[in-house]
């Protein structure tokens, strides 16, 4: 087995982001294992979210799952991409990976291992569809 980093002669790519209030957020949540999953406050309506399990316990803890408001225009959202897979878009028909995009965050509506195994920590990155406060100092719209 080769180390994943710091190998002499190998090239690596790293991506770094900084949080911008009302535009992007990077954080974590802990799954509750319920079909009435956790609510995550972002401070904006998300356009795109990518997350994965960062602690052991989820059978799919290696998967980076992506949901976005361009391919899925209504709640609940079922169409997902797996960032570290060559698989085509998947539509979850088993109700385990439902997610609602809200005006100020997202709500987990399923209990699948990709998004909501009880006690498992999930890390995420989210980017806004509409910034948290509009130019007219009003709140963002719900979907």
pTM for this prediction: 0.76
Confidence band for 39, pLDDT divided at 50, 70 and 90 = very high
User: Judging by beta carbons within 10 Å of its beta carbon (0-12, 13-18, 19+), is residue 101 exposed, middle or buried?
Assistant: buried
Higher pLDDT, 123 or 112: 123
Residue 104 has pLDDT above 80, yes or no: yes
CB 58 within 8 Å of CB 117: yes
Q: Which of 28-37, 45-54, 57-66 has the lowest mean pLDDT?
A: 57-66
In the Cβ-directed half-sphere of 117, how many Cα atoms lie within 13 Å?
16
Residue 123 has pLDDT above 80, yes or no: yes
Give the C-alpha separation, 29 to 50, whole Å: 13
The predicted-structure confidence for 65-93, as pLDDT tens digits, reads as follows 888 887 777 777 776 767 666 666 666 65
């Amino acid at each position: 087995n080769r180390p994943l980093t710091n190998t002499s002669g190998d090239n690596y790519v790293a991506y770094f982001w900084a949080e911008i209030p009302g535009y992007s957020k990077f954080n974590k949540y802990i799954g509750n294992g319920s079909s009435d999953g956790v609510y995550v406050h972002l401070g904006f309506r998300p356009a795109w979210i990518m997350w994965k399990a960062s602690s052991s316990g989820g059978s799919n803890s290696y998967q980076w799952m992506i949901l976005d408001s361009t391919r899925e225009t209504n709640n609940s959202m079922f169409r997902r991409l797996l960032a570290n897979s060559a698989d085509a878009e998947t539509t979850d028909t088993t109700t385990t990976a439902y997610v609602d995009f809200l005006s100020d965050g997202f709500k987990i509506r399923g209990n699948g291992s990709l998004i909501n195994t009880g006690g498992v920590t999930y890390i995420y990155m989210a980017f806004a569809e509409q910034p948290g406060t509009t130019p007219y100092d009003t709140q963002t719209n719900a979907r």
